[in-house]
Chains A and B, each alone.
Chain A
Amino acid sequence: MIEKAELQKLGRLAYLSLTEQEIEAFQSELNHFFSMVQIMHSIDGKYDLNTVQPFVHPYAQYQLLREDRAKVVEELEQFQEVAPEIKEGFYIVPKVIE
């Protein structure tokens, strides 16, 4: 059973400001969800999960990397066109240090 205090903590971890009404709705919905998820544990009797590797990739079992070569990409202006606030090429955020 997930308590309200735990949901408030999850909201802080996820950087989501939640209203009391939302907390109440999520409490019921998440508890319902995690009771449904319990079916996942019904597999314990059928398999020895200690011998099963967690899934990595459906097909290729390796991480593909690009060639490690430096290139100049001049896209700053293009990307900053969609920024909420910029100044002299910097993204402006609220002042956090007095």
Chain B
Amino acid sequence: MRDKSIRQLGAALEEKQISAVELANYFLSEIKIRDRFNAVVYTDEEQTLAAAKLSDKRRAKGERVHILEGIPITYKDAFCQQGWPTTCASKSLKNFVAPYTATVVARLQAAGMVPLGRTNMDEFAMGSTTETSCFGPTLNPWDQTRIPGGSSGGSAAAVAARLCPVSLGSDTGGSIRQPAAYCGITGIKPTYGLVSRFGLVAYASSFDQPGPMAKSAEDLAWILGVMAGFDCQDSTSINHPVENYEKSLKLPLKGLKIGVPREFLHESLDDEVQHTYDQMLLLLRQLGAISVDVSLPNLEQGVAVYYVLTAAEASSNLQRYDGVRYGLRSEQFEDLIDFYSQTRAAGFGKEVKRRIMMGTYVLSHGYYDAYYVKAQKVRSLIAQGFQQAFEECDVLLAPVTPSVAPKLKAYEADPIQMYLSDIYTVLVNLAGLPALSLPGIYSKQGLPVGMQLIGKHFKESQLLNIAYQIQQNSDWHLASPV
């Protein structure tokens, strides 16, 4: 059961080999018995089984059901889901039960998906390790002395450990792609604006984008098709037609131009990551694609620009946690200002406080133009750089991370090193492009190594098509730590 694809699970449900309740019970039991990774931080058997029973009833009535009907899914703890705790792995929201449901969650539930639980994450999605969570770190299922990546580390570990067939994550600077790479699964960060952010707790609003994480590109296609589409509740949502992603999976790759961004393949790249890159490029060539050398000239500015802008947006977004209308409230204070300050100090962890301080600094009088405005200008240049590169190719193939998953606490003494490790992922978010992370050849130690396909705006179907063809012609995505 644990290795089955969505299509296989859907067929088993349709042919009555298994019921939605049995499937939900199976995965609930797997989480209970095997989650030694701290991947899933909350389950609610009653609500899960109630949703599964309703699913079985719909099917029994002979209603025409979606392929996702009865398939269980876990949600990163940043998506509001009415009646379920939504904590963002922060002490400041520890007892918060969402009073409404995020658009993406509502759409997946309307397609019949069964909510299985909430997955661990970095606090407010600020981190690349899932170590900043108030629930404690998630461990990488491939090697429990290593991080699973972040911030959607719980989702990646849960899918890799086969605790759920699919999970919903969010990607602000690599938070779907990087944990997918470290855990050997497949994940897609859609074009900014394709998927609604309504009900996703905000970290950096001009970057955040929800996306699915699963075992294969085919599974992603089914989920993304339901999630994507205009939402009037999100003012940055784009009214763009949603493609039939699963229909384009089988298109041939002959003549497709794969851009090889020379700045990404610097000598500081780990040899094993380079080897995985070379092998994936070779496979793409064997499938008929053509590789072309391209340049993305402002790679080295990416991390700085990204952290200036996201810290600024975070410091603004997180002002809402003041203890008045919801969340943690400090009981000890002297006056109103002290009430806010004590409440926020008690609720936020170190990484969140650090980013609020960084953001407050870049937005403060005297530094706004030098940091914030300048970073927005360099962001424009980075986006233009991609446009120029895409004049010479259809998609880009790039590494996701500079190395395999680091050891736990590797960045404890120097958090700036953690920021620098995001070098290959943040550019995509700066330009609002879609990108898909998928596993390639594993390292000599047997650890996953991920590669990303970066596409033009709204070219998700092309990314899913290429990834599907890679996965049909290799077995890298089939490896499992279980």
Give me the interface of A with B, judged by CB distance under 8 Å. Answer: 2, 7, 10-18, 22, 25-26, 29-30, 32-34, 36-43, 47, 49, 52-55, 57-60, 63-66, 75, 78-79, 81-85, 91, 93-94, 96
How near does chain B come to A62, taking the closest CB pair, in angstroms?
10
Complexed CA–CA distance, A32 and B97 (Å): 38
Complexed CA–CA distance, A47 and B336 (Å): 47
Residues in B with CB closer than 8 Å to A64 are: 235-237, 239
Looking at chain B, what size class is its interface with the partner chain?
35 or more
The answer, yes or no, to whether B305 is at the interface (CB within 8 Å) is yes
Given that A10-B364, A30-B358 are contacting pairs, would A58 and B432 also be in contact in the complex, using a CB cutoff of 8 Å? yes
Could you tell me if B336 and A96 are in contact, using CB atoms closer than 8 angstroms? yes
Complexed CA–CA distance, A33 and B381 (Å): 22
Could you tell me if A49 and B344 are in contact, using CB atoms closer than 8 angstroms? no
Could you tell me if B356 and A16 are in contact, using CB atoms closer than 8 angstroms? yes
- 1/0 per residue, CB under 8 A from A, across B198-235: the answer is 00000000100000000000000000000000001001
Residues in B with CB closer than 8 Å to A39 are: 300-301, 304
Complexed CA–CA distance, A85 and B326 (Å): 9
The answer, yes or no, to whether B357 is at the interface (CB within 8 Å) is yes
Complexed CA–CA distance, A35 and B182 (Å): 29
Complexed CA–CA distance, A2 and B354 (Å): 14
Residues in B with CB closer than 8 Å to A17 are: 338, 341-342, 344-345
Among A13, A49, A58, A60, which residue has the most Cβ atoms of chain B within 10 A?
A: A58
Pairs A-B, 7 closest by C-beta atoms: A58-B432, A54-B376, A55-B379, A17-B341, A17-B345, A84-B329, A15-B340
Could you tell me if B341 and A55 are in contact, using CB atoms closer than 8 angstroms? no
Could you tell me if B192 and A58 are in contact, using CB atoms closer than 8 angstroms? yes
Give the A-B pair count, Cβ closer than 8 A: 167
Given that A36-B420, A39-B301 are contacting pairs, would A55 and B376 also be in contact in the complex, using a CB cutoff of 8 Å? yes
Give me the interface of B with A, judged by CB distance under 8 Å. Answer: 96-97, 99-100, 191-193, 206, 232, 235-239, 298, 300-301, 303-305, 307-308, 315, 319, 322-327, 329, 333, 335-342, 344-345, 348, 350, 353-354, 356-358, 360-361, 364, 371, 373-381, 383, 414-416, 419-420, 430-433, 457
How near does chain A come to B299, taking the closest CB pair, in angstroms?
11
Contact of B344 among A15, A30, A32, A57 (CB under 8 A): A15
Could you tell me if A94 and B333 are in contact, using CB atoms closer than 8 angstroms? yes
Complexed CA–CA distance, A59 and B336 (Å): 42
Given that A33-B307, A40-B374 are contacting pairs, would A58 and B431 also be in contact in the complex, using a CB cutoff of 8 Å? yes
Could you tell me if A37 and B308 are in contact, using CB atoms closer than 8 angstroms? yes
Contact of B99 among A13, A14, A34, A79 (CB under 8 A): A79
Among A29, A38, A63, which residue has the most Cβ atoms of chain B within 10 A?
A: A29
Among A15, A18, A32, A42, which residue has the most Cβ atoms of chain B within 10 A?
A: A15
Given contacts A7-B357, A54-B373, 7 further A-B contacts (CB under 8 A): A15-B322, A16-B353, A58-B191, A59-B192, A64-B237, A79-B99, A79-B325
Given that A17-B344, A78-B99 are contacting pairs, would A43 and B381 also be in contact in the complex, using a CB cutoff of 8 Å? yes
Residues in B with CB closer than 8 Å to A81 are: 97, 99
